[in-house]
Structure 1
Amino acid sequence: MSPAKRIAFIGNSLPRRCGIATFTTDLQQAIASSDVNTSIVAMNDHADGYDYPFSVHCQISDQRLESYAHAADFLNEGRFDVVSLQHEFGIFGGEAGSHLMALLSRLTMPVVTTLHTVLAEPNAAQRDVMERIVDASARIVVMAEKGRDLLRAVYRLPADKIEVIAHGIPEFAFVEPDEAKERLGFGGRSVILTFGLLSPNKGIEVMIDAMPSILRRRPDAIYVVLGATHPHLVRERGESYRESLMSRVRELGVEDHVVFLDQFVDQATLLGFISMCDVYVTPYLNEAQMTSGTLSYSFGLGKAVVSTPYWHARELLADGRGILVPFGDAVAIGNEIAGLLTDAPRRQDMRLRAYASSRSMTWERTAKRYLAAFETARRGRVLNAVAGSSQPRALMATAPPPEMQTGHLLSMCDDTGLFQHAVHSVPDRSHGYCVDDNARALLLASALNGTGESRLPETLTTRFTSFVQHAWNPDRRRFRNFMSFERRWLEEAGSEDSHGRSLWALGVCARDDASAPRRQWAAALFAEALPIIERFSSPRAWAFALLGLDAHCTTVVAASVRTLLADRLLGLLATVETPGWIWFEDGLSYDNARLPQAMIATGLAMKVPAYVEAGLRSLRWLTHLQTTPTGLFRPVGSESFGDRRSPPKVFDQQPLEATATISACLAAWRADGDPQWRNDAACAFAWFLGDNDLSVPLVDLDTGACRDGLHRDRPNENRGGESVVSYLLSLAEIRQLARVSGDRPKLAPLRALHA
């Protein structure tokens, strides 16, 4: 395998002012010097963005979910060999940075993620996001052994997936500070330096409090605080933090010995300041800081360093390479710094130890280690492909299917039936009801009559059946579809599809309902409403009717209709199908998978192999079309409806399509026993739980509510009747599969919504 030639970096980028931006830019430049084509995908934290260099080829607006998807498209279309992700909490949008998953879930190349922070005690959202990032990454890089330990202990990551690569440093000669002091205006002073974006967690106030004790032993000492205030802090509080530090300096009377340089400096200027200091101090207050670029730089330039014992410092400064002091202890910091400033031999010995041990950290060597990690990730991807070990993400998890919860369904019903729509989770009376949704609800009631589930309340099932009965218009021999909230029918006859779906529900009710009188009612109305289906031209109406006939076909008339409809679908496929378009129509619409499902079910019932084969062949084509290169289920987007023989558009995505695909794939599995069909069903179900293009869960596991779908940039926050029934029908099938198979389909809610 030839070495990677195109590598992309995702993270902040200079001139944005933060440590991640500096690191991303430095790493990209170091890799680019190795004759590799590189590109940066930069995170923007405000609408105006930044004046980026030419190395930035794509930008992401951190709070816009759509922007992450566009970045994934850029990377996939650019055919990059590897993506290097720089992860830090706070730079990606969504809860705990969850928007990032909308990008990672769509990438077709391996991802090597550098974790700049590894939390020992993450909250639930942070843990969830971290686990999903780790799962999406081929390799994980941390900059300290503590990071490796935490990944193994807290996140159960295997050791062979983790690389420890130290923070890179520039190549810089070991020099004495006097020349730089003269050049920068600090000649004749004992210089203590801190550099970085000012924020309260840096502990600058502790160092200021230490200055009086230092000055008693070293009167020429001066503390230089180099760095602008963190931009986010400026936006929230202005310069109040810097002003509070300056006020403390005045209170202590050390104005001549503390200098604030409000600058965000380039690397050359920073190296000049570091080279002129006698002691570098990082008095940070957060033990969990996994890495510090300024600590690495000062260490790499051979500086005597005094630091609090955050994780990175504890490792880097061990064995006499620096001095550690307790957090927030101004007395200890003062004593140690004063001791170093008054003991030149000790200070020089510490400098030499630091410089010698840092040679492996230069950017040139760091780049080589990253390139090796990239190649390991690529080899792993190739080996997985050869071994055929790539599986749908849904099968890689281990939790059982969620519990059946019908609370939201109940709230979406009144004494008439199931409401069509909701505003968020509140039923929307203005759109009334439809037979489509109430027929679906009747299918759900029948599905929950099986072993292992709690039935719907009898009164609720009665409402659904009553609605279907009331929808029947005997004068037209058709079902009406739409009813206003005032219980007024808005049409004399509904669509052909709504008629077909009503037949489907009646057929299943006639077979599966718990009430014998209701089964008799369903059979009678089914027989009355079936004959007119022969006049219909809608392939979906035919398919829905065939699914009803699969459940209830007890007369010669019904058998004749079943053969007629199946032959029509078979004829459509024969007429429309080409090598690249194995489908019944010239375009894709809604409920697509119901067509092959109907053919498979009918073929099995009638023992007609041609029907089964047609269903399997068309479903295989559709399933391939609805699966991304990374194994995500991506249903045909509604923006595709009406397109002729074109690849489906991605959005809007609707729960109805996932439900149809699950049913069809399980029908295919029962037909030919290929376990891949179960995998495909699992992937489609995982779409509900967050394994989708936006990495957003659609369901509330506590109530059974389901969002109405995925827009290009966000989920649809409404939770209407069709969506809740679609999810619950899918859940019922997956749970039944687990029971009859004697095992658990390995389906885990990646980040199910509890709201």
Structure 2
Amino acid sequence: MAARARRLALIGCFRPRQCGIATFTADIYDHLTTARPDMAIDVYAMAARPGDASDSAAVAGIDEKDADGYRAAAEAINASGADAVWLQHEFGIFGGPAGDMILGLVDRVAAPLIVTFHTILAEPSADQRRVMEHLVAKAAKLVVMSAFGRETLIRIYGAKAERIELIEHGTPDRAFEACSPLRERLGLAGRPVVSTFGLLGPGKGLEAAIRALPAIAAQYPDILYRIVGATHPNLVAAEGEAYRQSLADLAGELGVADNIAWENRFLDLPELLEQIELCDIYLAPYPNLAQITSGTLAYAVALGRAVVSTPFVHARELLADDVGILLGGADSDAIAEAVLLLLAHPGERRALQERAYARGRSTAWPVIAARFASLIENVAAVPARREPRRMFPSFAAIRALSDDVGILQHGTGLIPDRNHGYCIDDNARALMLVNASPSLGEEEYGLLFARYAAFLHHGWNPDRGRFRNFMAYDRRWLEDEGSEDSNGRTLWALGHGAAHARTPELRAWCAGLFARTAPLAADLKSPRAIAFALLGADELLARETGHAAAGAIVERGGAFLHALWRSARRSGWEWFEPALAYDNARLAEALLRAGRRTDSVPMEEAGIGALDWLCDIQTSSEGHFRPMGCEGFGAEGELFPFDQQPLEAWATVDAAATAYRLTGKLRWHDRAERAYGWFLGANDRGAVIASSATGRCCDGLTRHGVNSNVGAETALAFHLAHRAMADTFWTRGIAKDTSASDVDLQSEPHAAAHSS
């Protein structure tokens, strides 16, 4: 079966920039395009100066020193619908300490991230370690080009072995050329030629190579050592050509100036390959034995050149099994001895060339491009099997998390975790679910209602006038008063129970505790706590229209949220705060309800406008729900895609359902469906978060996939989101998903939709 068409965002230096990363990225683009012509590849090219990235294939240039440019590129990638993002990482090409500006892009992209590390330092600085560990944590796959790089990522940076792919540096797939025609054109037909390639600068070992020349020239006076490559641009900027001149001076002192040819320019790939084919011996005298990648070394092997190299990491692995000659180090005598051996024994040199050429077939670009295409396909998010939307979730997960005290907060995998005890937040939500679940038998309903209601009752601390929140497993309260949010949620659950509990006695109990504890709402300052309390008060008012305490909460809360919205909104940001956080849709829903309850058209319109805006920005370019991730809480005016929480999907479903009930506009059904679909696989990883068959819901969606722990908050969010969909849309015959696998909705009685 043909692979599905993909879109890849490719980030790195790119032509016409002259550096090894630019060449590598361009090679990837060219060969991957050939291997997968159906794949759309968008290049985001690093630019040392604005406007540097001019190749027509580059959809955008990123100014390496502009932090806003990285964030803008992330937004463009997300808007493009990229299935995967592939970053070429090298120190020195990104702005900030150790290039940390690239993290501003990495943190904001929604598609799975692949990172190819071109340098992996065994002894990083503090900033280098920070950047590397951040990339390791965020990436779905880490690509290295050597076994040493793989081991270093695991040992030094804590990478997980299963996330690492070893894919060697790609090389040209060319026929073996025993004697390059270029030799004739340059008048070198009879001269033995040794060559070293790459940007020139200290650390290339060229001094050792030049010092080896007198011994070689003593036996082969016409030996020619070609040093091919421009001086590194950073070195030119700092000191001009002083370093190159120092090498020329050294050659003059040793009497071998006539044995050296300088190619002081950056060669494009076709000419570079010709120059490598020109030489009899490729010499890599690099003293840095930790170097893990050399593109020209890989090319030399693939082109069947006889290689003499110091034992740096890439050379040790590529030249194993007598593919080349490995020296003990950057020693002039050893270089001279190896070169003389190969010049004196043409048969040995030819055998070495044949072994190198054979080794190079495994790194030919068609082979490497196919491996990269497979990696991208495996990493890219795929649509998951979607469960029937209208199958009512099993209550088994709720039962499993509950004991005779209440509902436990957390789970380790599928097993409830007693170490973290209980919280009033979850027991409040559990009470709401019980009152919204008409399918529960009377006996179980009564048992669960009493259990969760008793937890709320016990949580009230009359001395503080607040509810406690956290309780240890041994039933010890861990605080005298809980957060404002937990107090607001508890009022919400009591107001909901006062409206929806099954019997007059239970509704009266909820209303009584609500009335006794409602004064706390007057002191709330958290916008979300105020919104939660308002939602509960509005539920109570739906049944008891003259409830004074509930009316006061709605009036105060509505005025507060409306003023907050008016003061915080700005062009392109129609929201209550300068940053998104958690339970975001509740703010808009509460203001919308307050506007309808108090007959305030401005409030109602503001709530609708804010919810419209929120739904728009939390919709991906592919049309699925993408909530604000908890990594971005507090980031003003920005959206971070991970980690995504079920609470956000439920809040959006509820708010959209409220907007539909109050306006009758079908767009709110579409938005509710989109948010609910997030649970069932319509998300950034195509991953099923929740299961109707078991009633479980995983704790969230990370950039690596599903957080498989199952806690109370997430399971309750799934169940309550389903109830909102069923009660508001499905029982009214408003549904997109009408597959034959859906259960018959008439088989379960339903509560009436919550009135406004």
Change (3 A) 1:144 1:573: same
Tell me which residue corresponds to 1:241. 243
Partner Cα separation in structure 1 for residue 345 and residue 274 of structure 2: 23
CA contact (8 A) 2:117 2:144 kept: yes
Tell me which residue corresponds to 2:392. none
Tell me which residue corresponds to 1:9. 10
Partner Cα separation in structure 2 for residue 140 and residue 293 of structure 1: 19
Tell me which residue corresponds to 2:32. 31
Partner Cα separation in structure 2 for residue 53 and residue 124 of structure 1: 36
Q: Write out per-residue CA displacement over residues 474-508 of structure 1, whole angstroms, 9 at most, x where no aligned residue.
A: xxxxxxxxxxxxxxxxxxxxxxxxxx9xxx9xxxx
Tell me which residue corresponds to 1:49. 52
Change (3 A) 1:330 1:595: closer
Tell me which residue corresponds to 2:629. 631
Q: Which amino acid aligns with 1:161?
A: R
How many Å apart are 1:631 and its aligned residue? 2.9
Q: Which moved more, 1:82-91 or 1:565-574?
A: 565-574
Partner Cα separation in structure 2 for residue 31 and residue 255 of structure 1: 44
Tell me which residue corresponds to 1:162. 164
Tell me which residue corresponds to 2:269. 267
Q: Which amino acid aligns with 1:650?
A: E
Q: What's the secondary structure of 1:214's corresponding residue?
A: helix
Q: Write out per-residue CA displacement over residues 241-284 of structure 1, whole angstroms, 9 at most, x where no aligned residue.
A: 11111111111111110111111111221121111111001111
Q: Write out per-residue CA displacement over residues 310-348 of structure 1, whole angstroms, 9 at most, x where no aligned residue.
A: 100001111111111133311111111121111111111
Q: Write out per-residue CA displacement over residues 87-139 of structure 1, whole angstroms, 9 at most, x where no aligned residue.
A: 11111122222211211222122222211112222233222222221222222
Q: What's the secondary structure of 1:154's corresponding residue?
A: helix
CA contact (8 A) 2:629 2:639 kept: no
Correspondence 1:61-140 to 2 at 5 A = 61-140=63-142
Partner Cα separation in structure 1 for residue 252 and residue 320 of structure 2: 35
CA contact (8 A) 1:308 1:327 kept: yes
Correspondence 1:218-617 to 2 at 5 A = 218-378=220-380, 543=530, 562-568=549-555, 587-590=574-577
Structure 2 residue runs without a partner (length 5+): 388-411, 414-467, 470-475, 489-518, 538-545, 564-572, 591-606, 619-624, 641-647, 653-678, 680-688, 691-696, 704-712, 714-756
Q: What's the secondary structure of 1:134's corresponding residue?
A: helix
How many Å apart are 1:151 and its aligned residue? 2.1
CA contact (8 A) 2:172 2:365 kept: yes
Q: Which amino acid aligns with 2:289?
A: E
CA contact (8 A) 1:141 1:163 kept: yes
Partner Cα separation in structure 2 for residue 115 and residue 371 of structure 1: 18
Report the TM-score when normalising by structure 1: 0.57
How many Å apart are 1:189 and its aligned residue? 0.9
2:197 alignment partner, one of 180, 192, 195: 195
Q: Which amino acid aligns with 2:17?
A: R
Tell me which residue corresponds to 2:440. none
Partner Cα separation in structure 1 for residue 292 and residue 386 of structure 2: 34
Change (3 A) 1:544 1:5: closer
Q: Which amino acid aligns with 1:6?
A: R
Q: Which amino acid aligns with 2:318?
A: L
Tell me which residue corresponds to 1:21. 22
How many Å apart are 1:71 and its aligned residue? 0.9
Q: Indicate yes or no: 2:38 matched with 1:40.
A: no
Partner Cα separation in structure 1 for residue 86 and residue 529 of structure 2: 50
CA contact (8 A) 2:324 2:352 kept: yes
How many Å apart are 1:542 and its aligned residue? 11
Q: What's the secondary structure of 1:194's corresponding residue?
A: strand
How many Å apart are 1:373 and its aligned residue? 0.7
Partner Cα separation in structure 1 for residue 33 and residue 338 of structure 2: 41
Partner Cα separation in structure 1 for residue 532 and residue 28 of structure 2: 61
Partner Cα separation in structure 1 for residue 386 and residue 204 of structure 2: 47
CA contact (8 A) 2:531 2:586 kept: no
Correspondence 1:137-148 to 2 at 5 A = 137-148=139-150
CA contact (8 A) 2:141 2:164 kept: yes
Partner Cα separation in structure 1 for residue 189 and residue 585 of structure 2: 84
CA contact (8 A) 1:210 1:334 kept: yes
Partner Cα separation in structure 2 for residue 156 and residue 539 of structure 1: 39
Q: Which amino acid aligns with 2:576?
A: S
Change (3 A) 1:569 1:159: same
Q: What's the secondary structure of 1:197's corresponding residue?
A: coil
CA contact (8 A) 1:106 1:628 kept: no
Change (3 A) 1:384 1:164: farther
Change (3 A) 1:231 1:542: closer
Identity within the alignment, %? 37
Q: Indicate yes or no: 2:651 matched with 1:650.
A: no
Partner Cα separation in structure 1 for residue 103 and residue 584 of structure 2: 30
Q: Write out per-residue CA displacement over residues 372-391 of structure 1, whole angstroms, 9 at most, x where no aligned residue.
A: 11111126x656999xxxxx
CA contact (8 A) 2:224 2:259 kept: yes
Partner Cα separation in structure 1 for residue 385 and residue 97 of structure 2: 32
CA contact (8 A) 1:170 1:362 kept: yes
Q: Which amino acid aligns with 1:274?
A: I
How many Å apart are 1:598 and its aligned residue? 14
Tell me which residue corresponds to 2:496. none
Structure 1 residue runs without a partner (length 5+): 387-394, 397-445, 454-499, 505-529, 551-558, 577-585, 601-614, 639-648, 653-660, 666-673, 692-736, 738-755
Change (3 A) 1:568 1:2: farther
Change (3 A) 1:323 1:575: closer
CA contact (8 A) 1:191 1:224 kept: yes
CA contact (8 A) 1:543 1:598 kept: no
Q: Which moved more, 1:137-146 or 1:316-325?
A: 137-146
Partner Cα separation in structure 1 for residue 180 and residue 145 of structure 2: 32
CA contact (8 A) 1:138 1:377 kept: yes
Partner Cα separation in structure 1 for residue 120 and residue 326 of structure 2: 21
Aligned-residue RMSD, C-alpha? 5.2
Partner Cα separation in structure 2 for residue 621 and residue 566 of structure 1: 26
Q: Which amino acid aligns with 1:15?
A: P
Q: Write out per-residue CA displacement over residues 38-61 of structure 1, whole angstroms, 9 at most, x where no aligned residue.
A: 2211001224524x3211111111
How many Å apart are 1:5 and its aligned residue? 3.0
Q: Write out per-residue CA displacement over residues 650-682 of structure 1, whole angstroms, 9 at most, x where no aligned residue.
A: 399xxxxxxxx9xx99xxxxxxxx999xxx9x9
Partner Cα separation in structure 1 for residue 224 and residue 171 of structure 2: 26
Q: Write out per-residue CA displacement over residues 537-584 of structure 1, whole angstroms, 9 at most, x where no aligned residue.
A: x9979949989xx9xxxxxxxx998544313267789999xxxxxxxx
